[in-house]
A = this chain, B = another copy of it.
Amino acid sequence: MPAYPLTLGIDLGGTKVRSALVDARGRVLQTYRHPTGAGREEEAVVDDIVAAVEVCLNNADDRAEAIGVGVAGQVDTAAGIVRDAPNLGWEDFPLRDALESAFDRPVVVANDVRAITWGIWIHGAGRGVDDLVVVFVGTGVGGGVVSGGRMLEGATGTAAEVGHMTLVAGGRKCTCPNVGCLEAYVGGWAIAERAREAARAEPDAARTLVELAGSLENITGKIVDRAFEQADALALRLVEETGRYLGAGLVGLVNAFNPKRLVLGGGVIDGVPELVDHARSVVEAHALEVPRAAVDIVHSELGDTAGVIGAAVLARTIVE
């Protein structure tokens, strides 16, 4: 028996929409993926979302009470507007209104990792904790923070953009207006960029990477993961550096937020789970004593369902 209320979670990425019907215990009852694309107009993407949702709703006798959507980018949840979603090429798009018209039930829209943080807090590795930091390392790096039992929102709803905290002043160019962001070192795109630079500088050391990728220009973060599994020396060095940068960033987060638990997830972490141990050891050596003693650093249990479960939990916050 599903536990009610049921809600529908949507994880809107740059290349696909994933939807899931989720019950009150966080169990996924239905799930569906539909392709979408950054080249498409806003309205076409909304149609893709509608298609992904309708499959789930039809299979569930239309019983979802509300819909939550997680979007990579800066989202004004109170206004229901996606302010800036570079993957989709969106600026100031009123996604909530578009979906409420389509589905005739309440919709809530949030930053994707904010939604994931809801899922981790209620059903995942952050259960039962009042002070939680979530860092998701995928192509980009996003975050969510619960402090004193409340989700941090900030003045305009974009708090916890932890991927865009300066980690190396004057350092690598980020995709945002800053330089030296955490994301510019450990995000999937940045790992790929660092790997290609290393391959250009040391062609001999990069033979495995280039072979796996087909060409130097095709080296991606996932190629680095595969070479790492084969114990390739350059890949080991790149992963070690990634762990060092991630750890240095987490030291700052532990000191700034003093969380009881810090949960790591996302494609880069799932690809090389050893990064969790590495980052934890950096925090143990370098964080301030009191917050260091208070924090557990763990890997998210939710895998790639974190996005849809989180969005569904977010939807529950507006019907409960």
Contacts and interface: CB of A to CB of B under 8 A. Distances in A.
A148 interface: yes
A244 B169 contact: yes
Interface residues of A, number: 57
Contacts of A288: 74, 84, 158, 161, 164, 176-178
Interface string A245-257: 1001101110111
Interface of A: 74, 76, 83-84, 130-131, 143, 147-148, 150, 152-162, 164-170, 176-180, 185, 244-245, 248-249, 251-253, 255-260, 285-291, 293-295
B167 A258 contact: no
Contacts of A83: 289-290
A28 B142 CA distance: 44
B257 A159 contact: yes
Given A258-B155, A291-B156, A252 B150 contact: no
9 contacts: A84-B290, A130-B155, A152-B257, A155-B294, A156-B258, A161-B255, A161-B258, A165-B252, A177-B287
